[in-house]
Chain A
């Protein structure tokens, strides 16, 4: 199983490679990727150095171009695919069918991965993408159970990548308009779901208020763990009850499921967090590297070490982790 790590900067890419990532995914400094944050991402010069470094070590660099081209601006997204090809990408991670068609026609030898933003949650969707665009890998949205993933892995020849750690997105990715409702920007059109220009934090006497475009989305008590200011993880009053209306802030942690995922034939484990620092990348990659190696060396004897668990829990959103949709006995 390949370990795919996030990189928001050349320093993070180096940290990922040093810690044992098999592949690193990154984006350009524009709206063509779903982490279009101020000051984040790669210049072409940085990408050149990063690709050279990765190739020298026999590792891979994947380009995320996973937002949806906006009307009249298709050329920006096509240019990103051209840049990825010219800069030596091992694969491009795309979501938009028009862009997939462009990449397939223009660069028939470039590997195509269907982004989690492409929202392919069932066999027909994956097979359609394979038949039409010859995708070689699909990144599954974090809404599927282990049984559903196992079934898909049996039914398709397309490689399967799943998330192993990181902040959770609770919707079928690629279809969320929550932030667009509040701010006009969404992951699909601007590559952000809590655009920084709309976020305001105010703390008084230890009580922290999070506002998105003026809308109060959460109020943390003194010392209570905080989360990213996304609407999905806010607390609201619904039917007289004040709680997390959609999902608690938490990070996905699939450490204990690695042998099962490997046995199902899952080809890659992805770590979320291109917005995080090289320190996060180094620590999370090193932990998952050790765990994947142990799961592959002796699956029957595999058990999650407490220090791995502690290392991941430290970095978790809301300071708590979950197995998310992977384990849903009722489904």
Chain B
């Protein structure tokens, strides 16, 4: 894990233990929504009405969200259509387009549960998205 994430790990784990899950989902969905408004993440129509969870294994953080009318929203129920689990560094590497999801999966570093077809749509959508310059700038503060 990179040094920044290592330093953040313990406080984030404490945060996960104390902050109610809905609040985490709220912030995560807000982050995705900002990325969408910045025109980086424009979800394909197949994601509409579906729910997702991103599980950052090393931090013990689980963020659930859904996609409604092309916008990202927090998702309150525990059950989701698709859940992806990986380490924070691996998620960041995938977001930056530096890591192949199948490679992570073969190495058992990425776990997929729920609707596999939806998982494929999400993966292919992210793969096809051009990485904007601001993402690289942001990522350079957090080298994966």
Contacts and interface: CB of A to CB of B under 8 A. Distances in A.
Interface of A: 8-12, 37-40, 196-197, 199-203, 208, 220, 223-228, 275-280, 314-319
Given A201-B112, A220-B108, A279-B97, 14 more contacts: A9-B124, A9-B127, A40-B124, A203-B111, A224-B108, A226-B106, A226-B107, A276-B100, A277-B100, A277-B102, A280-B103, A314-B103, A315-B103, A317-B102
Contacts of A40: 120, 124
Contact of A12 (B103, B106, B108, B127): B127
A278 B125 CA distance: 12
Contacts of A200: 116
B106 A196 contact: no
Given A38-B117, A278-B97, A11 B129 contact: yes
Nearest to A318: B106
A125 B83 CA distance: 47
A248 B108 CA distance: 17
Contacts of B107: 225-226, 319
Nearest to A199: B116
A315 B103 CA distance: 5
Nearest to B122: A39
B113 interface: yes
25 contacts: A8-B127, A11-B128, A38-B120, A38-B121, A39-B46, A39-B123, A39-B125, A196-B119, A197-B117, A199-B117, A201-B111, A202-B113, A203-B111, A208-B111, A220-B108, A226-B105, A227-B106, A276-B102, A277-B99, A277-B101, A277-B127, A278-B97, A279-B97, A279-B98, A315-B103
A38 B127 CA distance: 12
Interface in B122-137: 122-125, 127-130
Interface in B36-92: 44, 46
Interface majority SS (helix, strand, loop, mixed), chain B: helix
Nearest to A198: B116
Contacts of B111: 201, 203, 208
Contact of A225 (B106, B117, B120): B106
A109 B127 CA distance: 34
A38 B111 CA distance: 19
B89 to A, nearest CB: 14
B124 A8 contact: yes
A46 to B, nearest CB: 8
Contact of B128 (A9, A279, A316, A318): A9
A40 B106 CA distance: 20
B52 to A, nearest CB: 14
7 nearest A-B pairs in the assembled complex, by CB-CB distance: A39-B124, A9-B128, A280-B100, A196-B117, A39-B121, A199-B116, A277-B100
A11 B130 contact: yes
Given A39-B44, A278-B127, A201 B97 contact: no
Given A11-B129, A279-B99, A201 B116 contact: yes
Contacts of B97: 11, 277-279
A12 B112 CA distance: 23
A223 B112 contact: no
Nearest to A195: B117
A318 B107 CA distance: 8
Nearest to A43: B128
A197 B119 CA distance: 10
Contacts of A225: 106-108
Contacts of B44: 39
A280 B102 contact: yes
A276 B102 CA distance: 7
A208 B108 CA distance: 9
A224 B46 CA distance: 32
B9 to A, nearest CB: 21
Contacts of A278: 97, 127
Contacts of A202: 113
Contacts of A315: 100, 102-103, 106
A40 B113 CA distance: 20
